[in-house]
Structure 1
């Protein structure tokens, strides 16, 4: 079948750890034809179908020059998305206004017959930090607000807290404030822009020392290994982008309980691939835009996450 990957520029991929690259490699191994474009290459003209300007690509197996493309800018070829067997939206966060508009174009492509994964409406409806609030029994004490007074009350109740922007990624903009409340006001002003922007506040979870675990759901079922992203040195952030160390490990009983509770619900909403973030006993994020950690888990355990994903994709298209 033909698979279109909508992703960041191919030239920016770090293939030794990129999960989209792992998907492409497995898809080509299975005999599928690959196309790639960026969200900026989507186009919809009056009276026509949603189209992307794509490059037909082949993977070379070379670590450096890892792909060859039949087309180069500005000569990419137009491709109606409805004529592609599967469209994979793999643009990395942040979920900004252009990502939002891209989901609307992909929604129109669906109406024309395209098969898009993850479902564009589901991407819009599951902002990765806010989405956890639907499942209060699985999360730690959490507050979403613009109001500095709300933040102060939450701090008074819980003492040791984490503050973060709703649109952050890779650990960006995460702050910890202890019982002394040092810098709480200035941190709140920085994140909420003096009341103009919402932020998230959570009770600090000491079990972050054992890692912020990424648990992958594929076709509603958990991958048997998580990647625990463990903070290093004086850091409180386990994110790999913030210097965390990734350690693959079997799912704990609680990991599996959370995954099995959410898997069928999220799959029914059109989310074929989801990355749950779990600290200790608590769900902290539901990642749907471009979940990662395929290669880290495979390299450490031999569990072929990309193969599991392609099997689920093929089953969804059958």
Structure 2
């Protein structure tokens, strides 16, 4: 299998990213791997597509850090590859990382990904629906029973009114963003600072205000889904709990949170069941469900992470299961000789 990963840039990749874990597992299984940055696509005059890629130089790595060091080794220029010859293109870039310097990059890369899908490359998550899911308004398309009460606005008064309606307790965060950046938990004692909080969050666009869920003090549960369903291998779910660092309300690992083993309870599995139809319909092959108490606070479909954490905590080979599933999809595509659409293959 020829497997491409679309990343922000090799210089911003980190050795604790799920992308590196999946790439290393694929290399170990004998598959060809290429890393393409958001600025690495070329549409040529003969209507073919190329990608400027970083390629591994070996077929075995001791850990993810060793693979990253090899991919980013100095003095090696990117190699031009034919995108149409890839079997699978995994979209693993984070649009939030590009807001400041390269706001054009994520949208442009999605357009190239759509062109790749037209050339029978299996593109995951489905690039057409991923364009619709580029910010957190996508979450509002899921049943109200799974979501906290939410207000999305750029207007400070509308946000303040929402906070007042919830007795001064809520969460305010950017509509576009990840990693826990600019996420504020507002309590009744924060009334004097509410204007500054809203200003900080809306500096780059719309804000989301959500009802505060008291269970958030215990962190959140991240459950990974594959093909729209909870990823399970050898009876274990790819699932873990993230806790904030001391007084920090953010449980994101990139914001200093910690992680521990967790088993999804009956409510968490019910929530996953409720969101599955839309994930499947939209071709969201790999997603991360973030659960607090009896609600889902986010669904991550842009570069969902956590596979490496789930593996390190449990010793279960979740990445191997994902690579094997991709091989199965390629076989199904070839058997059906192009009659299955990308969105059908995505969650087949």
TM-score with structure 1 setting the length = 0.91
2:149 — aligned with what? Answer: 141
Report the alpha carbon displacement of residue 6 of structure 1 after superposing the two structures with TM: 1.7
Q: 2:211 aligned with 1:209, yes or no?
A: no
Distance 1:167 1:303, change over 3 A: same
1:197 counterpart SS class:
coil
2:187 — aligned with what? Answer: 178
Deviation string, structure 1 residues 275-301 (Cα, Å, up to 9, x no partner) = 111111111111111111111111111
Conserved 8 A contact 1:55-1:76: yes
2:128 — aligned with what? Answer: 121
Moved more, 31-40 or 42-51: 42-51
In structure 2, what is the Cα distance between the partners aligned to 1:157 and 1:69? 51
In structure 1, what is the Cα distance between the partners aligned to 2:157 and 2:95? 30
Q: 2:235 aligned with 1:222, yes or no?
A: no
In structure 2, what is the Cα distance between the partners aligned to 1:231 and 1:6? 30
1:282 — aligned with what? Answer: 295
Distance 1:41 1:72, change over 3 A: farther
How many pairs does the alignment contain?
315
Q: 2:325 aligned with 1:317, yes or no?
A: no
2:30 — aligned with what? Answer: 31
1:161 — aligned with what? Answer: 170
Deviation string, structure 1 residues 208-251 (Cα, Å, up to 9, x no partner) = 12222111111122022422111121111111111111112111
Structure 2 runs not aligned, ≥5 long: 232-236, 332-348
Deviation string, structure 1 residues 155-214 (Cα, Å, up to 9, x no partner) = 111020111111221110011221242311222223224xx8311001111111222211
Distance 1:70 1:289, change over 3 A: closer
1:190 — aligned with what? Answer: 200
Moved more, 47-56 or 236-245: 47-56
In structure 1, what is the Cα distance between the partners aligned to 2:259 and 2:48? 43
Conserved 8 A contact 1:54-1:79: yes
In structure 1, what is the Cα distance between the partners aligned to 2:244 and 2:18? 22
Report the alpha carbon displacement of residue 71 of structure 1 after superposing the two structures with TM: 10
Distance 1:69 1:184, change over 3 A: closer
In structure 1, what is the Cα distance between the partners aligned to 2:74 and 2:40? 13
Q: 2:19 aligned with 1:20, yes or no?
A: yes
Cα RMSD, aligned residues only: 2.3
Q: 2:139 aligned with 1:132, yes or no?
A: yes
Conserved 8 A contact 1:8-1:92: yes
Report the alpha carbon displacement of residue 18 of structure 1 after superposing the two structures with TM: 2.2
Q: 2:105 aligned with 1:103, yes or no?
A: no
2:55 counterpart SS class:
strand
Report the alpha carbon displacement of residue 114 of structure 1 after superposing the two structures with TM: 2.1
Moved more, 151-160 or 48-57: 48-57
1:48 counterpart SS class:
coil
1:82 — aligned with what? Answer: 84
Q: 2:259 aligned with 1:252, yes or no?
A: no
